[in-house]
Structure 1
Amino acid sequence: MLRAALAATVAVPAALAGAPALARTLTAGTGTPPLTPPCDDGDDPTPPQTEGPYFKPNSPRRTSLLETGLPGTRLTVSGYVFGLACRPIAGALLDFWQADAGGAYDNTGFRLRGHQFTGADGAFTLTTIVPGLYPGRTRHIHVKVQAPNRPVLTTQLYFPNEPRNNTDTIFDPRLLMTVRDAGGAKEAAFDFVLAVPQEPGPGPTPPPGGTWAVGTAYRAGDRVTYGGRGYLCLQAHTAQPGWEPPSAPALWRAA
């Protein structure tokens, strides 16, 4: 679903100020940023990858893996979990684990391990550090993703422009995150598509008292109303649940 972002080898996308670091708002350059391609019906599911030798069950439930005294560059990973019809999946489990800044896994405790669930809009956010390197592998984060009552997807997420991407035999460019610098930290984005059958989403349906509608392709300069107030579109996009004008300052400005 993120064909452009996953196939690209350039890093350093940029988001509009105040926007969440999500796959559809991270872009390259500093001008008016075009959005990455939206999820479309028929997109391929996120590819699986090996679990590796370091997975541990029963990780703590948490959205931040940071701990006092933990060295490393802070990293925030955000995105959505979708089904095959590109509708968000609420309550999907995401279980993350990774190496520390020195390339070591904690095999006795649960440092840099944790699980969480997507919200009603299918969104997730993980706060962690950039993982270190160890022999034979490029930089990566492990994850298991499971929709309620569905099979588990086990895969790995990768960083663009890593020299070892060219020599790691497991590396898959379809699993590249978009990554940008953020004042000494880093922000990354990735959206998962699970092999979960879904009915096609509803067509554009204006909310009561407004013209904004999910599924509508808006262009910069378009005007809508929502909740009795007018808004001006700042950049082209296809409206998704959760991107209502008051909730998406990167996309809409009160007019």
Structure 2
Amino acid sequence: MDEAGTYGTGPDDPGTGREPESPRLVRRKTVLRAALAATAAIPVALAAGPALARTSAASGSAPQLTPSCDDGDDPTPEQTEGPYFKPNSPQRTSLLEPGLPGTPLTVTGYVFGRACLPLSGVLLDFWQADTNGAYDNTGYRLRGHQFTDSRGSFALTTIVPGLYPGRTRHLHVKLQAPGRPVLTTQLYFPNEPRNNTDTIFDPRLVMTVRDGGGGREAAFDFVLDVPQDPGPGPTPIPSGGTWTVGVTYRAGDRVTYAGRAYVCLQAHTAQPGWEPPAVPALWRAG
């Protein structure tokens, strides 16, 4: 992989399309975007509201409340590389090419360290099957790498991968923070029939996916095993007062907005567009 060294290739698997079991999985991590609320913009795929990456169901139901972030967050689970990885992919955020068939797909998210702080400059190397379930093993079609920006965010434009024997629908990705080990894993789609029969499938790696923009929009946040100093917590604020941009609210805090009272449901830092009437995931009238 240029810019970040060369990875080893996976095992040879002629003709079967099968991939070996992962030798090790780390513990579950519920990833939070709330850690970036004070400084980061919401990715395009989720710009309609503060739908954190792991809180919206594919059915479009109201997002569940996100638990508080702590300093012991588990890294994203590892998965097998499989037989189709190739080093030295081109640097690009879009894998689309003229004449490439398939349903458009955007994948957005953040990369965090162990203290739920964003990581900039993280390498993400994606590769996948085309709409017919085939990998390009001679060129670099549907292969590419990119780096997280200063906010720790990434965005990939591609197509929904097809199916091939023995596997459910999935994306491959390698991540590497500067000077840190490589994490190899896979991302999955919700409500796929083959999720129940694929022996490699891991529900902890299911993306949040919805229809939109003439295709599908997905979100997923990664956590790398990178030690971080969480620093001081937010300064407590007295409960009550008028809702104000830039204030850090805790669950249970009460505010008024446009003459109406609201109760905070989830800790966050207020941003423009997150006014209480507009974001029922964060505020409840009363």
Alignment TM-score > 0.5, same fold: yes
Secondary structure at the aligned position of 1:174 is classed as helix
- Residues 1:16 and 1:57: Cα distance change in structure 2 (over 3 Å): closer
Q: Are 2:217 and 1:187 equivalent residues in the alignment?
A: yes
Take 1:70 and 1:234, find their aligned partners in 2: how far apart are those partners?
A: 49
Match of 2:88 in 1: 58
Backbone CA RMSD of aligned residues: 3.2
Match of 1:121 in 2: 151
1:138-217 alignment, distance < 5 Å: 138-205=168-235, 212-213=246-247, 216-217=249-250
- Residues 1:197 and 1:3: Cα distance change in structure 2 (over 3 Å): closer
Secondary structure at the aligned position of 1:165 is classed as helix
Deviation string for 1:27-86 (max 9, x for gaps)?
Answer: 566676445445432121111011011111111111111111111111111111011111
Q: For the pair shown, which has the larger CA radius of gyration, 1 or 2? A: 2
Match of 1:90 in 2: 120
Deviation string for 1:135-168 (max 9, x for gaps)?
Answer: 0111000000111110000000011111111111
Take 1:169 and 1:53, find their aligned partners in 2: how far apart are those partners?
A: 16
- Residues 1:32 and 1:54: Cα distance change in structure 2 (over 3 Å): closer
Aligned-residue identity in percent: 69
* Letter paired with 1:239: H
Take 1:95 and 1:143, find their aligned partners in 2: how far apart are those partners?
A: 5
Question: Is residue 31–residue 54 contact of structure 2 (8 Å, CA) maintained in 1?
Answer: no
Deviation at 1:121, TM superposition (A): 1.2
* Letter paired with 1:212: G
Q: Which has the higher strand share?
A: 1
Deviation string for 1:16-35 (max 9, x for gaps)?
Answer: 76348750674566676445
* Letter paired with 2:275: W
Take 1:31 and 1:196, find their aligned partners in 2: how far apart are those partners?
A: 33
Secondary structure at the aligned position of 2:227 is classed as coil
Question: Is residue 22–residue 79 contact of structure 1 (8 Å, CA) maintained in 2?
Answer: no
User: What TM-score, normalized by structure 1, do the two folds share?
Assistant: 0.77
Unpaired stretches in structure 2, ≥5 consecutive residues: 1-28, 33-44, 237-243, 278-286
Deviation string for 1:198-249 (max 9, x for gaps)?
Answer: 112431159xxx77246x436797469xxxxxxx989844336xxx614xx3
Q: Are 2:34 and 1:2 equivalent residues in the alignment?
A: no
Deviation string for 1:173-205 (max 9, x for gaps)?
Answer: 111111111154111111111111111243115
Take 1:96 and 1:66, find their aligned partners in 2: how far apart are those partners?
A: 13
Match of 2:267 in 1: 238
Question: Is residue 72–residue 114 contact of structure 2 (8 Å, CA) maintained in 1?
Answer: yes
Q: Are 2:115 and 1:81 equivalent residues in the alignment?
A: no
Q: Are 2:252 and 1:252 equivalent residues in the alignment?
A: no
Q: Greater shift after overlay, 16-25 or 111-120?
A: 16-25
Unpaired stretches in structure 1, ≥5 consecutive residues: 5-14, 225-231
User: What TM-score, normalized by structure 2, do the two folds share?
Assistant: 0.69
Question: Is residue 217–residue 238 contact of structure 1 (8 Å, CA) maintained in 2?
Answer: yes
* Letter paired with 2:85: F
* Letter paired with 1:245: Q
Q: Are 2:161 and 1:131 equivalent residues in the alignment?
A: yes
Take 1:205 and 1:115, find their aligned partners in 2: how far apart are those partners?
A: 39
Question: Is residue 94–residue 146 contact of structure 1 (8 Å, CA) maintained in 2?
Answer: yes
Deviation at 1:125, TM superposition (A): 0.9
- Residues 1:130 and 1:32: Cα distance change in structure 2 (over 3 Å): closer
Take 2:149 and 2:123, find their aligned partners in 1: how far apart are those partners?
A: 10
Deviation at 1:119, TM superposition (A): 1.1
Secondary structure at the aligned position of 1:245 is classed as coil
* Letter paired with 2:103: T
Aligned length: 228
Match of 1:228 in 2: none
Deviation at 1:116, TM superposition (A): 0.8
